């Protein structure tokens, strides 16, 4: 069987030594002499389209037609007509009778790529073909027979599609009599550099230029990249390097500039176990935040209790009222043109001393108001900078224009 696999690789120009790839080729060879339907699954860009050709060429149908149909590229309104044909006058624009693919490919093989994109009404028609080889043209009541071998492919999670009622379960089982899974490129690490060399050689001949080559570090980077676009993406990157780079020796630094950010991956399927794990982690984080908030609240209560013990005249309702006014004033004074208080308050956060200072500042009636503190800050900054307004404004974190306005407002004499 190994010699047969090697012969198939040479015949169809398949590059790779991965066991998963070899298993997919082996299953294709074994199923070819039969007429049973085959479903090929795998991510987009892994090369699923080569396996229907292998199956057809090794079957007794190889001298008859092989038709590949991209189900996802045909509009829903015309897919039935494309597959099964139509009678003249069946719909607007049907000016003549037309034969569909199932009629044209009689005795041969039809490859239905992206079969998961078929509308449900078309799936019913396809199921009838699989069960008894019969179909109806659009606009006709005459049953026609066809003898075709159906090979389908999809990159969808069919179990999920069935649960969402987007794909018929009975059709899935009829299509997947034998299922061939094509592994993604990231699971074929030893094949990645081999494929790069193949593509680089092809593009060198195509564009009549020397072949690009990877140094050792670039090869490691290539093998460890995720390749969400699989072989199609690798071929695209190789062509870009072959055309755009004058240097034929590709370094890892140069290669990385062509590789999209791994964080910008295409959507990936997430299994339920992973989803539950992530949800559990989020829940733990929320619990921790709530616990920390409760802890902070208890600490603040202790600070207030200490202030009350030290000051018998302390009134909690007065504290709450002043706390509200303080917060409103902070918001007002923290606007872009009045961000001095924001600048000052950002220096002291998240410690018990800050909570104590905050509570004590609100409680004590004789404590300086916000305006007084602002005036004090401006005066000290001007003194430190010998009256230079620009330097003082930079130190305070405000514009010179804002500082000038405040000097005028407080009537500060320089």
CATH number reported for the structural domain that contains residue 246 in this entry:
1.10.8.60
What are 41-91's pLDDT values in tens digits? Answer: 999 999 999 999 999 999 999 999 999 999 999 998 899 999 999 999 888
Give me the pLDDT at residue 352, please.
45
Residue 326 lies in a domain: yes
Are 106 and 117 within one domain?
yes
Domain count, the chain: 3
Last residue of a domain, one of 183, 198, 213: 183
Are 14 and 161 within one domain?
yes
Are 235 and 292 within one domain?
no
Contacts of 411 (CB under 8 A, 6+ apart): none
Give me the pLDDT at residue 363, please.
46
Give me the pLDDT at residue 314, please.
56
Q: Which of these ranges, 212-216, 332-336, 375-379, has the smallest mean pLDDT? A: 332-336
Last residue of a domain, one of 166, 183, 200: 183
Are 121 and 26 within one domain?
yes
Residue 198, domain extent: 186-264
What are 254-286's pLDDT values in tens digits? Answer: 999 999 874 444 444 444 544 454 444 555 556
Are 162 and 237 within one domain?
no
Give me the pLDDT at residue 375, please.
81
What are 158-204's pLDDT values in tens digits? Answer: 999 999 999 999 999 999 999 999 999 999 999 999 999 999 999 99
What are 102-134's pLDDT values in tens digits? Answer: 999 999 999 999 999 999 999 999 999 999 999
Residue 63 lies in a domain: yes
Residue 371 lies in a domain: yes
pLDDT of 306 higher than 80:
no
Last residue of a domain, one of 183, 213, 245: 183
Distance CA 104, CA 126 (A): 15
Are 18 and 149 within one domain?
yes
Are 319 and 338 within one domain?
yes
What integer is the mean pLDDT of 203-215?
A: 95
Residue 46 lies in a domain: yes
Give me the pLDDT at residue 163, please.
95
Are 171 and 202 within one domain?
no
Nearest partner of 266 among 220, 230, 239, judged by Cα = 230
What are 7-38's pLDDT values in tens digits? Answer: 999 999 999 999 999 999 999 999 999 999 99
Are 251 and 333 within one domain?
no
Q: 66 to each of 57, 61, 179, how far by Cα in Å?
A: 9, 9, 20
CB-based burial of residue 343 (10 Å sphere; 0-12 exposed, 13-18 middle, 19+ buried)? middle
Are 253 and 323 within one domain?
no
Are 193 and 124 within one domain?
no
Residue 269 lies in a domain: no
Distance CA 255, CA 261 (A): 12
Q: For the chain, what is the mean pLDDT? A: 82
Are 169 and 34 within one domain?
yes
Residue 179 lies in a domain: yes
Residue 360 lies in a domain: yes
Q: What is the CATH number of the domain that holds 147?
A: 3.40.50.300
Residue 52 lies in a domain: yes
**299 vs 315, higher pLDDT:** 299
What are 140-157's pLDDT values in tens digits? Answer: 999 999 999 999 999 999
């Amino acid at each position: 069987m190994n010699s047969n696999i090697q012969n198939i690789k040479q015949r169809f120009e398949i590059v790779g030594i991965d066991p998963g790839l070899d298993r997919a080729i082996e299953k294709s060879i074994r199923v070819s002499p039969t007429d049973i339907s085959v479903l090929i699954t795998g991510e987009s860009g892994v090369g699923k389209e080569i396996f229907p050709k292998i199956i057809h060429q090794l079957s007794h149908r190889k001298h008859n037609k092989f038709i590949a149909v991209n189900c996802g590229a045909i509009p829903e309104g015309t897919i039935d007509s494309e597959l099964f044909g139509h009678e003249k006058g069946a719909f607007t624009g049907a000016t003549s009778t037309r034969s569909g693919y199932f009629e044209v490919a009689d005795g041969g093989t039809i490859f239905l790529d992206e079969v998961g994109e078929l509308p449900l009404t078309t799936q019913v028609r396809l199921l009838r073909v699989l069960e008894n080889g019969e179909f109806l043209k659009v606009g006709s009541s005459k049953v026609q027979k066809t003898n075709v071998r159906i090979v389908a492919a999809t990159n969808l999670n069919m179990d999920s599609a069935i649960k969402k009622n987007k794909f018929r379960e009975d059709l899935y089982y009829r299509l997947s009599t034998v299922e061939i899974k094509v592994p993604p490129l990231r699971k074929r690490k030893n094949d990645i550099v081999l494929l790069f060399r193949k593509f680089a050689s092809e593009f060198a001949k195509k564009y009549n230029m020397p072949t690009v080559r990877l140094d050792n570090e670039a090869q490691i980077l290539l093998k460890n990249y995720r390749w969400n676009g699989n072989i199609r993406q690798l071929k695209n990157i190789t062509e870009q390097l072959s055309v755009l780079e004058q240097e034929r020796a590709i370094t890892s630094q140069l290669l990385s500039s062509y590789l999209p950010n791994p964080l910008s991956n295409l959507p990936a399927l997430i299994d339920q176990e992973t989803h539950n794990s992530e949800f559990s982690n989020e829940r733990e984080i929320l619990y921790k935040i709530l616990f920390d908030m409760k802890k902070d609240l208890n600490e603040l209560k202790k600070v207030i209790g200490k202030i009350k013990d030290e000051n018998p005249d302390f009134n909690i309702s007065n504290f709450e009222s002043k706390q509200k006014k303080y917060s409103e004033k902070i918001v007002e004074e923290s606007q872009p043109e009045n961000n001095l208080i924001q600048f000052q308050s950002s220096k002291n956060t998240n410690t018990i001393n800050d909570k104590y200072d905050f509570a004590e500042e609100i409680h004590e009636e004789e404590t300086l108001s916000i305006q007084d503190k602002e005036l004090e800050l401006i005066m000290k900054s001007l003194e430190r900078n010998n009256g230079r307004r620009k330097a003082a404004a930079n130190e305070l974190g405000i514009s010179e224009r804002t500082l000038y306005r405040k000097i005028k407002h407080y009537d500060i004499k320089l």
